[in-house]
Structure 1
Amino acid sequence: MRPVPDHADDAAFRQELVAAKHQLAASVADPAQAQRHVFEELLAQVAGTKFATEHGLSGVRTLDDYRRAVPLRTYQEYDPWLARAADGEPGVLTREEPRLFFTTSGSTGSRKRIPVTEPFLRQVYLPYFRAAMGVPAEYFPDSLSLGAATLNLRHDRLARPNTTGSGRPSLGPSQADLRGGFGVTLREPGSEAPWAELPVPVDERDYLEKLYLRLRMAVEHDVRCVIGHNPTMLAMLPELLTQWWPRILRDVRDGTLGGRPGGTPDPVRAADLERHGPVPAAVWPRVRVLYCWTSGVASLYLPRLREVYGDDVTVLPTPAAASEGPVGVPLDRHPHAGHLAVSSALYEFVDAADDVRADSPTLLYDELEPGRDYHVVFSHLGGLYRYVLGDVAHVVDRAGTLPRVAYAGRAGLSDVAGERLREVQLVRAVAEASRRTGTDVINMTGRPERAAGSHHHTVGSHHYTVAVAFHGAGTSDVASFAGVLDDALCRANPDYRRAREGGALAAARVLPVPTSAFVANWHRRVASGMRPPEVKDQVFQADDAAWDLITAGGRQTRKGFSENREAPGQRPNR
């Protein structure tokens, strides 16, 4: 293994990130003042725009005025404004014109386009992004590097991005080259590693080959930190190492990159890799940090995943954020939550039990209750005003007067019999069933299904099937798991309980599937054109092809299990 000398700028880079963390911590120390300042900045930035004119914002002086003037909007409702800005119409949402557009992954629908202005980049995006990276920089300085000590699986700059109708670049945040041009510089950990700019020609949209080449090069170096942001990337890395192992060994031995010249033959390293096998902890024995979001489905599989990276590994959470903007920013070593970024955006919330309407009453940061879930609404300098993010945040606790929040799941719900089941409720029920039955869950996805031969209007014609990849669970374990899962759903969701007690919904069933089913679906999604960092865990599986692929092995080998075999209308066990 090649030793990894510190990159020449590493010390200054880490110092910069730690300073950003302390600066953001100071800016949120007085949340009320921070929110007042953000609100004043918003009114100044939107003044004179077409959005301000249509909503009468010139007369707005107070937050209550603002709430009355601007309705809550989802992306679909906001899209006409964003489309006008993307097509080059001036002064639509902001006085400062967008320089580019961030796109979302499109994992739950069509891709969204989010305008990026210089004020947004300087005052919203960069402060929270740098501050969050300040945590690993402060606590694990030997692991976080601009160079080869950090394997950044998120980072993938594009030379030729898509463009909007007005010719502006349109690409994911991890693809944008923000090293200059805005009067600021954003350098990411690992962004100057040998594999950051691949030394051999490859189609920049051949995502799997690019990922292969990065891993092939990284196995020759002393990697100490692996960054995924999306935890699915960290879960897939051991699978990809195994799949590509013969090719990696051959390339390392021969000094080739994907069979092409470009490296230095290293038969000693190839022999060492072959002896230890394709396990991250053996390939990179000094890995100390995994950096990704840690809530949602990831909370189920990260404890076991950490074992394959090494017993000394710490998992640090990335910000609870979206392409549209930040929510929670980790400022300490909390395992899954971050401080509400009150100096970056103006925040409002709607109780997660309610549907969000244009006129929904909202709560402010100081009205949130620890232990509760909320829809997130924010306004910021990027031109999003009372924007319904579409994510649910869980308030973990308070750090002083400031809520500390974690991503809980997407806000959409599943409802075939009045059960109004949300992602976070299903994930928590699976976690509870895992704890109570002592089973390890590697991955999961679920959906409502109709019983064979039943009609839609038939009482009890639907039930939830949850496809679960277990680690070493037996038949009796799975049967018990299903009963506990259904019980947990009944207790977590009154609507689900009523649907079960009234017989409108039959008991949840669990279908054990091999882990390889989720791996196969990951490959299918990448083959369809999604970049690997965009392929996220899916709690509710709406994609029929994905569901068929994942469940095929389970249905062929065994029946789905349900502990509650009662007739329609029978009261569930609790």
Structure 2
Amino acid sequence: MLFPTGVSAAPQDRRARGFAGRVLEALARQRELCNDPGPTSARVLRDLLDQARPTSFGSGHRLGSVGTLEEWKRAVPIRCYEELRPYVERQLSGEPRVLTRSAPYAFLKTSGSSGRPKYIPTTRHWRDHYRGRGLYAQWGLYAEQIGAEYLTAGNLLDLSWERTPASRNLHGFPVYSISRRPAAVGAEDWVPPWYDAPWLNGDDDEEYADSLYRKLRLLAGCDVRMIVTLNPSKIVGLAEQLALRAGELVDEVGRGTLCGAPADGMAPDPRLARSLSRRLERASGSPRLTGLWPQLSLVVCWNSASAGLYRDWLEEVTPGIRKLPFSTTGTEGIVTIPVDGHPSAGPLAPDQGIFEFVPCAEDDDGGPLAADAETLAPHEVETGRSYRLVMSQANGLYRYDVSDVYTVLGRVGGSPRLEFAGRAGFGSSFTGEKLTESQVYQAVKESYDDAWGSLPMFTCIPSWGTPPGYALAVEWRPGLGPAASEHFAAATESALQQCNPEYAEKRRSDRLRPLRVLPLAPGGFLALAEAQRRNGAAAMQIKHHWLQRDDTLLGLIDELSLLLPG
């Protein structure tokens, strides 16, 4: 077996054996917790109180006399991040014991609905006792699927995070995104056998496409059995880079180079280059990752909400490969951990926090929940219904209104099985049409002619005007011409009116103008992602949406001259 530069077989095998036992034990423990979550939830509440009582937050909310969940709910109001922000800013200023007994050592940065970034305090207590152990349990399921012996740096590609030095600092604290961590903070943190693999190292200055290609090159010739990521778009992007740069990859394997330069431990391998060339040629230009890794047998990523709309693309680039969900993991905390073969949902993780649920109303516009909103416990939620989540985590986010919606798909033992349904109120509505991502996706899929090739990447952008309307940006094949574009726009417009009567009514009354198609050059969405990254967006913030919240992308499309001529 070939190993990436700097990774020797024997140490990896030894580390993998110990790691495999640990993740399988963690999975068994997680399954037991699902069967009887009550005692675990009580223990978590005691721990949260222990973290919160000796703080200014604890004093202000009189937590010294709180001992039960009902007392906790009466003492602490539900808050959105903007209401918690003053506490976080006091932490950032250096004030001790604001939210937690355990001091923050870093802050995770994520985008905020108000446009201001959110900074999530990260403590060693939270990493050791919650977040780190949750990751071990999740990987136990994947070890069961592919075989524990394949949990090595040469047998998998973990795209869910990168080891990247913290390049930003705020008031003396390192600041980075959840997917770009510099290092583990101790033995209880997440330290997998591939922790030192070259392909796990990241660089803030590296172009996104080059990063994916570098990982392909480092693992060319390895027996990769599993690919793990958060966003499915990354797997599609990986396959696209393979299709675009297959010749370059084969040439570099033959010459023993990495990204055009000699690399330590990489000797020329003409025999492997010829073998790869034959396999990739048999794929006939199709960007299938099995052309590079024939034994690939498992793909892990988010498979619900808007991410679930990638299923067709995923199947195209990894045909016949089993797909399992990544844990429902946000910057603020882990909510679900998969423990079985369900393709899109996992049971609530009772050991990760205190979770409360508010029934989701049909007219929910995504605004903050009331501070005293009635909440349900996990055992009270009903299958088939959707709820907004309120969670309390040991990082100091207490009774936090996450604005996320989950649908209950059943139960795993005593824990509800939850599927992430999206952000509360996420959609677009100029005049009451309440357009959703799923409606846009369905309309495009119905209207795109299969004779034009595979369904391309696209997004729908609200466009202000008198009247307002929507622009559909689509990576368009240059040879199709304007007639096909006009036919596609009309068909999609008709399909949107069929699936959304309010949209149809607003169009009939001329309160919305007709949908217009913006044909982008191939690779347009990759160029947009690169521009967002250069403008300071973190990797986790650059997410593909089928429906945009505002018209920001229109300006970027013009700035980058991405429209096809004519």
Relative to structure 1, the CA distance from residue 478 to residue 303 in structure 2 (aligned partners, 3 Å threshold; closer, same or farther) is same
State yes or no: 1:430 paired with 2:447: no
TM-score (norm 2): 0.83
Matching residue within 354, 360, 370 for 1:352:
360
Matching residue within 274, 277, 280 for 1:271:
274
Matching residue within 107, 112, 120 for 2:118:
112
> CA offsets per residue over residues 254-313 of structure 1, 9 Å max, x none?
21222222121122333333442564221111111111111233322223322323x341
Matching residue within 541, 554, 557 for 1:547:
554
> CA offsets per residue over residues 441-460 of structure 1, 9 Å max, x none?
55442233346xx2xxxxxx
State how far apart, in whole Å, the 1-side matches of 2:193 and 2:497 are: 43
8 Å CA contact 1:150–1:223 kept in 2: the answer is yes
State yes or no: 1:295 paired with 2:340: no
Aligned residue identity for 1:8: R
Aligned residue identity for 2:32: A
8 Å CA contact 1:39–1:346 kept in 2: the answer is yes
Question: What is the CA-CA distance between 1:416 and the residue it aligns to?
Answer: 4.4
Aligned residue identity for 2:225: R
State how far apart, in whole Å, the 2-side matches of 1:464 and 1:317 are: 32
8 Å CA contact 2:132–2:189 kept in 1: the answer is no
Q: Say which SS state the counterpart of residue 297 (structure 1) adopts.
A: helix
State how far apart, in whole Å, the 1-side matches of 2:21 and 2:337 are: 18
Question: What is the CA-CA distance between 1:155 and the residue it aligns to?
Answer: 3.1
Question: What is the CA-CA distance between 1:144 and the residue it aligns to?
Answer: 4.5
Matching residue within 90, 94, 119 for 1:88:
94
8 Å CA contact 2:36–2:413 kept in 1: the answer is no
8 Å CA contact 1:207–1:532 kept in 2: the answer is no
Relative to structure 1, the CA distance from residue 524 to residue 320 in structure 2 (aligned partners, 3 Å threshold; closer, same or farther) is same
State how far apart, in whole Å, the 1-side matches of 2:108 and 2:182 are: 12
Aligned residue identity for 1:448: P
8 Å CA contact 1:434–1:441 kept in 2: the answer is yes
Which residue is equivalent to 1:343? 351
Relative to structure 1, the CA distance from residue 142 to residue 380 in structure 2 (aligned partners, 3 Å threshold; closer, same or farther) is closer
Matching residue within 29, 48, 53 for 2:54:
48
Which residue is equivalent to 1:421? 434
8 Å CA contact 2:20–2:148 kept in 1: the answer is no
Matching residue within 171, 174, 177 for 1:169:
174
Question: What is the CA-CA distance between 1:414 and the residue it aligns to?
Answer: 4.5
State how far apart, in whole Å, the 2-side matches of 1:204 and 1:476 are: 42
State yes or no: 1:282 paired with 2:288: no
Which residue is equivalent to 1:65? 71
8 Å CA contact 1:466–1:508 kept in 2: the answer is no
State how far apart, in whole Å, the 2-side matches of 1:367 and 1:420 are: 33
Which residue is equivalent to 1:122? 128
Write out aligned runs for 1:240-279 (5 A): 240-262=241-263, 263-275=266-278, 276-277=280-281, 279=288
Q: Say which SS state the counterpart of residue 45 (structure 2) adopts.
A: helix
Which residue is equivalent to 2:284? none
Relative to structure 1, the CA distance from residue 399 to residue 465 in structure 2 (aligned partners, 3 Å threshold; closer, same or farther) is farther
Aligned residue identity for 1:229: L
8 Å CA contact 2:54–2:101 kept in 1: the answer is yes
Farther off after superposition, 253-262 or 59-68: 59-68
State how far apart, in whole Å, the 2-side matches of 1:396 and 1:250 are: 49
State how far apart, in whole Å, the 1-side matches of 2:517 and 2:149 are: 40
8 Å CA contact 2:17–2:149 kept in 1: the answer is no
Which residue is equivalent to 1:380? 393
May I ask how many residue pairs the two structures share in their alignment?
Answer: 535
Relative to structure 1, the CA distance from residue 371 to residue 477 in structure 2 (aligned partners, 3 Å threshold; closer, same or farther) is farther
Relative to structure 1, the CA distance from residue 346 to residue 470 in structure 2 (aligned partners, 3 Å threshold; closer, same or farther) is farther
Runs of 5+ consecutive residues of structure 2 not aligned to the other structure: 282-286
Question: What is the CA-CA distance between 1:2 and the residue it aligns to?
Answer: 3.6
Sequence identity, in percent? Answer: 29
State how far apart, in whole Å, the 2-side matches of 1:527 and 1:114 are: 23
Question: What is the CA-CA distance between 1:329 and the residue it aligns to?
Answer: 1.3
State yes or no: 1:8 paired with 2:41: no
Relative to structure 1, the CA distance from residue 361 to residue 509 in structure 2 (aligned partners, 3 Å threshold; closer, same or farther) is farther
Aligned residue identity for 2:351: S
Question: What is the CA-CA distance between 1:426 and the residue it aligns to?
Answer: 2.5
Relative to structure 1, the CA distance from residue 20 to residue 512 in structure 2 (aligned partners, 3 Å threshold; closer, same or farther) is farther
Aligned residue identity for 1:186: W
State how far apart, in whole Å, the 1-side matches of 2:486 and 2:137 are: 47
> CA offsets per residue over residues 482-530 of structure 1, 9 Å max, x none?
433333334xxxxx57974994854873737466332332232334344
Relative to structure 1, the CA distance from residue 530 to residue 136 in structure 2 (aligned partners, 3 Å threshold; closer, same or farther) is same
> CA offsets per residue over residues 511-561 of structure 1, 9 Å max, x none?
37466332332232334344556521124324645235569877866xxxx
State how far apart, in whole Å, the 1-side matches of 2:509 and 2:360 are: 26
Farther off after superposition, 434-443 or 540-549: 434-443
Aligned residue identity for 1:526: R
Runs of 5+ consecutive residues of structure 1 not aligned to the other structure: 455-460, 491-495, 558-574
State how far apart, in whole Å, the 1-side matches of 2:554 and 2:94 are: 40
Write out aligned runs for 1:397-412 (5 A): 397-412=410-425
Which residue is equivalent to 1:518? 525
Matching residue within 174, 182, 186 for 1:182:
186
Which residue is equivalent to 1:571? none
Matching residue within 353, 356, 366 for 2:379:
366
State yes or no: 1:228 paired with 2:236: no
TM-score (norm 1): 0.82
Question: What is the CA-CA distance between 1:11 and the residue it aligns to?
Answer: 3.0
Which residue is equivalent to 1:564? none
Aligned residue identity for 2:416: P
Q: Say which SS state the counterpart of residue 332 (structure 1) adopts.
A: coil
Farther off after superposition, 462-471 or 356-365: 462-471
Q: Say which SS state the counterpart of residue 137 (structure 2) adopts.
A: helix
> CA offsets per residue over residues 12-55 of structure 1, 9 Å max, x none?
32221121111112123223333333222222221121011122
Question: What is the CA-CA distance between 1:382 and the residue it aligns to?
Answer: 1.2
Relative to structure 1, the CA distance from residue 415 to residue 253 in structure 2 (aligned partners, 3 Å threshold; closer, same or farther) is closer
Relative to structure 1, the CA distance from residue 95 to residue 341 in structure 2 (aligned partners, 3 Å threshold; closer, same or farther) is same
8 Å CA contact 2:35–2:412 kept in 1: the answer is no
